[in-house]
């Protein structure tokens, strides 16, 4: 599942890589591009690609209000397989991580409670600007991000927010804002995604945690986007505005639990 707004150039690389990885591990697959109103020709590209490969399809949400969690919910309703995986479409999440996530899911899934999270904050993982070793100083990360389309400030704030969420949500997951998730379709249909761009994923994972769901994290190194602009924010004000739902969400959950 790939929720998108204006990611055509990244999709040109990502979709073939995803399908190739699915073929290599021998699983039946589909790629649903949930388009939340792109204006960069994403519709033409996906429609032409779907003619060549029936596993690729596009869900048009251009007439609906933009919403990342609702885009994903609509995609889950459309999906035809019992398992779903969703990830960012900007190329920051390597397609070959899918292999490790599927292998872990198959190994650990004894009941219907297993969810595998692609994680930047477990051993072997790393945030944008991190070297292949997974161990990089902030100075090195800043230097590595200089020639990319990603912000060092956004990376630092994201790391801080994720650690705050990890502590505030009872350590349910080291990367609660991951957005790189493999689980059963019935699970996401039961726990409908809700919230905003910034807080839907921590909400979902904490709901699983509260209902004794098994959350397993698989490491990946997040890479800078090659094309296009980040949806997180272009300046410090936008970054802080995007981050506020992360801050208030755990507090609201705690109040509702009492």
- Residue 147: per-residue pLDDT: 52
Contact at 8 Å (CB) between 99 and 25? yes
Between CA 58 and CA 46 the distance in angstroms is 6
- pLDDT digit of tens for each residue in the chain (258 aa)? 999 999 999 999 999 999 999 999 999 999 999 999 999 999 999 999 999 999 999 999 999 999 999 999 999 999 999 999 999 999 989 999 999 999 999 887 656 689 999 998 898 888 755 555 555 555 554 554 455 555 555 666 777 788 888 888 888 999 998 999 999 999 999 988 988 777 889 889 999 998 888 999 999 988 877 766 655 544 555 556 666 666 777 777 655 654
Between CA 187 and CA 115 the distance in angstroms is 9
Contact at 8 Å (CB) between 33 and 56? yes
- Residue 255: per-residue pLDDT: 59
- Residue 138, token pair as written in the block: 């902030």
Q: Other CB atoms closer than 10 Å to residue 241's CB: what's the count?
A: 12
Between CA 89 and CA 67 the distance in angstroms is 15
CATH number at residue 115: 3.90.550.10
Q: Identify the DSSP state of 64.
A: S
- Residue 258: per-residue pLDDT: 43
- Domain containing residue 148: 2-257
User: What is the number of structural domains in the chain?
Assistant: 1
């Amino acid at each position: 599942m790939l929720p998108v707004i204006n990611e055509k150039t990244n999709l040109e690389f990502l979709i073939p890589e995803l399908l190739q990885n699915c073929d290599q591990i021998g699983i039946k697959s589909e790629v649903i591009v949930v388009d939340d109103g792109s204006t960069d020709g994403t519709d033409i590209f996906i429609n032409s690609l779907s003619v060549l490969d029936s596993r690729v399809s596009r869900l048009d949400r251009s007439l609906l209000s933009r919403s990342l969690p609702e885009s994903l919910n609509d995609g889950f309703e459309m999906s035809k397989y019992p398992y779903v995986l969703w990830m960012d479409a900007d190329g920051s999440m390597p397609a070959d991580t899918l292999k490790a996530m599927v292998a872990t899911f198959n190994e650990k899934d004894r009941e219907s409670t297993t969810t595998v999270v692609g994680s930047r904050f477990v051993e072997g993982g790393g945030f944008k600007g991190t070297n292949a070793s997974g161990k990089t100083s902030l100075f090195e990360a800043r230097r590595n991000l200089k020639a990319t389309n990603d912000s060092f400030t956004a990376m630092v704030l994201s790391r801080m927010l994720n650690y705050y969420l990890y502590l505030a949500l009872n350590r349910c997951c080291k990367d609660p804002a991951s957005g790189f998730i493999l689980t059963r379709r019935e699970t996401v249909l039961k726990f409908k995604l809700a919230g905003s761009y910034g807080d839907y994923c921590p909400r979902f994972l904490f709901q699983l945690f509260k209902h004794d769901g098994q959350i397993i994290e698989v490491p990946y190194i997040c890479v800078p986007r090659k094309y296009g602009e980040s949806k997180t924010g272009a300046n410090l004000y936008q970054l802080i505005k995007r981050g506020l739902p992360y801050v208030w969400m755990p507090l609201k959950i705690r109040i509702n639990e009492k």
